[in-house]
Amino acid sequence: MGYLPIENHGIIGDLYTAALVGTDGTIDWLCLPDFDSPSVFCSILDDEKGGHFKIRPVQDFHSNQIYLPDTNVLLTRFLSPEGVAEVMDFMPIEDERETRHDLIRDVRVIRGRMTIGVDCRPAFDYARQEHAIEFVKGGVIFRSAGMALNLASEVPLEEGPGRSVRGRFELKAGESASFVLQQLEEGEGPREALKRAECQDLLQQTMDYWRRWVAKSGYRGRWRDMVNRSTLALKLMTYEPTGALVTAPTLGLPQTIGGSHNWDYRYTWLRDAAFTMFVLLRVGFKDEAHKFMGWLQQRCRSSGGLLQPLYGIDGRKDLVEEELSHLSGYRGSRPVRLGNGAYELVQFDLYGAVLDAAYLHNKYGTPLDYDTWQSLRTTLSWLSENWRRPDAGMWGVRGDRENFVSSKVFSWVALDRAIRLAYQRGLPAEEELWIGQRDAIYQEIMEEGWNAEKESFVRHYGSGALDASLLLMPVVEFVGPTDPRWLSTLERIQNELTHDTLVDRYKAQDADGPSTGEGTFSVCSFWLVECLTRAGRLDEARLALEKMFSYANHLGLYAEKIGSSGEALGNFPHAFTHLSLITAAVRLDRALR
């Protein structure tokens, strides 16, 4: 089978889980019933064992994909001399929502006559569980330990190799066939195939939902298509029951082909909190902001002051990491990791992110309540006693701890926002302590985080290396955007970490020695756009933003990283990148008015 490029995928979902759909008509990633549940299809991580759901013409074809306007309904078109076929993929979202997690694949022929092949082979529990096949009226049921999937269709199916089911059917122009993959509840019997009218009703209801939702956006600027697509992608990555945002709906996709940085991103990073709050509030999605803030509040109230870098979408704390050694990994990139050990790291940037999110929510959303403020005070007490410690840094370095400058900056942010909140609202506070700590952090950064010889802020105290997380210094208002020290740092970052508009997080170095290179992270490129905007370099910022748009895939989606040939790398799509795209576009659009 081989592996499709990561960027050759679209995403569909129902606000509980999501599926990747390739341009070749293959669903090669789906977890049920939730984002962080075990996968039922994961051939993107092992093309032999992983399981898939293919629908495509048997003739030679070329294909393309689009989303139906202002929706997350995906249309894959197959074009050949014999005709044109389309597959409409979506997961229904109805007004009276049931958590059924149906996946509908509707096939139509637009021109000519086409022979279509279907091949469905689940691989339950990350391909660790065997399954049985039961043929029933109108389809087939796949049964494994703890789960049953019903594939409903009026097209005749037969058993194929590897515990798969296959079928082949012919359609001419104007004819269609639908396939519905449904998770069955315990004891539930088979479901019948959808009638044409039922399929169309579900499609219309789903399109109506997405269009009503995105119409709430207050953004009307120059880059509306890209911003709206990013907001739609972010909504797809939001877990409806709690309002938490997964960093990506996938696990194990490599940051470097053949490398070992193959993490599980189906969790919520507190680092992303302030960006999430800014985006949701500034483009008009106050209900989502309020729900996400509720999730954040719960994490703070149960923390005792010490916050984890990430949590499960249901709020759970233990995300024990293990290796799925039986999977070969995307294009041989091993190990494939399940869970994420970063939850045990100490990262001070998250305190600034949480307090900044609380500040933004209080300013633009709903005033903080007393209990939330008390939990934040507990968090600040812990930070006041511990900010001098070295930590794992914004990027969660799993090695020696350092006094990372960005960690100190975000510690300053936490105390600064707390002081502002207390003053503006008249809230009880340890104001004298917080002001003293805030000012001490500021002075220390200016003395220890500044390298006079290099004329730049640096990655960590005593270092000569740079880090793209420094680009957040003017964004969080630690320094002015035209401060001479900052402009000198910005020039250094552009000279040493930037390739045109693509920005490395940092250079992989040994004791600040020769760089070995790591690759470029799109989130850092969008931070650069915002820094250029704030510095008044608007033409440069606009060109950088437009160039970054050219690195999106055909649907306007981004993975975590951009490879040397412009390919997408890392988990996909990447929420932090889309959040930063929106903040950069909104900021630049306002500056250009």
Distance (Å, rounded) from C-alpha 318 to C-alpha 315?
9
* CB distance 245 to 268 below 8 Å: yes
Distance (Å, rounded) from C-alpha 73 to C-alpha 54?
17
Residue 584 vs residues 81, 428, 502, 526: alpha-carbon distances, Å: 44, 35, 15, 6
Distance (Å, rounded) from C-alpha 417 to C-alpha 274?
12
* CB distance 73 to 12 below 8 Å: yes
| C-alpha triplet 222, 479, 449: angle, nearest 5° | 130
Cα 467 to chain centroid distance, Å, stands at 22
Q: What pLDDT score was predicted for residue 516?
A: 38
- State the span(s) of the chain assigned CATH 2.70.98.50: 9-207
* CB distance 304 to 378 below 8 Å: yes
Which two three-digit tokens encode residue 398?
A: 């799993």
Nearest in space to 91 (alpha carbons), one of 28, 149, 24, 11: 11
Distance (Å, rounded) from C-alpha 65 to C-alpha 559?
17
Give the number of other Cβ atoms within 10 Å of residue 104's Cβ. 23
pTM value is 0.96
In DSSP terms, 51 is beta-bridged to none
Q: What pLDDT score was predicted for residue 510?
A: 36
Q: What pLDDT score was predicted for residue 457?
A: 98
In DSSP terms, 562 is beta-bridged to 520, 568
419 sits in which H/E element: helix 405-425
Which two three-digit tokens encode residue 161?
A: 């190799």
Q: What pLDDT score was predicted for residue 303?
A: 81
Give the class (CATH, top level) of 214-591: mainly alpha
φ and ψ of 541, to 5 deg: -65, -40
Distance (Å, rounded) from C-alpha 437 to C-alpha 388?
10
Distance (Å, rounded) from C-alpha 35 to C-alpha 181?
17
Distance (Å, rounded) from C-alpha 393 to C-alpha 441?
16
Q: What pLDDT score was predicted for residue 95?
A: 53
Query: Which residues, 6 or more positions from 578, have their beta carbon under 8 angstroms from its beta carbon?
Result: 230, 231, 233, 234, 557, 558
Distance (Å, rounded) from C-alpha 381 to C-alpha 304?
10
Q: What pLDDT score was predicted for residue 409?
A: 98
- State the span(s) of the chain assigned CATH 1.50.10.10: 214-591
- Average pLDDT per consecutive 10 residues, the chain (593 residues; last block may be shorter): 92 97 98 97 97 96 97 98 97 69 96 97 97 94 94 94 95 96 85 87 95 95 97 97 96 94 96 92 93 92 89 96 97 97 95 95 91 93 96 91 97 98 93 96 98 97 96 98 98 96 81 48 98 98 98 98 94 98 97 93
Distance (Å, rounded) from C-alpha 528 to C-alpha 512?
23
Residue 453 identity (one-letter amino acid): E
Q: What pLDDT score was predicted for residue 94?
A: 64
Distance (Å, rounded) from C-alpha 452 to C-alpha 510?
21
Between the two ends of the chain, the Cα-to-Cα distance in Å is 50
* CB distance 19 to 11 below 8 Å: yes
Helix (H, G, I), strand (E, B) or coil at 295: helix
* CB distance 382 to 414 below 8 Å: no
Distance (Å, rounded) from C-alpha 244 to C-alpha 238?
6
> HEC profile for 234-291?
HHHCEECCCCEECCCCCECCCCCCCCCCCCECCCEEHHHHHHHHHHHHHCCCHHHHHH
Distance (Å, rounded) from C-alpha 364 to C-alpha 567?
38
Antiparallel, parallel or unpaired: β 52-57 and 39-41: unpaired
Distance (Å, rounded) from C-alpha 209 to C-alpha 13?
13
Topology classification of domain 9-207: Beta-galactosidase; Chain A, domain 5 (2.70.98)
* CB distance 34 to 40 below 8 Å: no
Which two three-digit tokens encode residue 410?
A: 């975000």
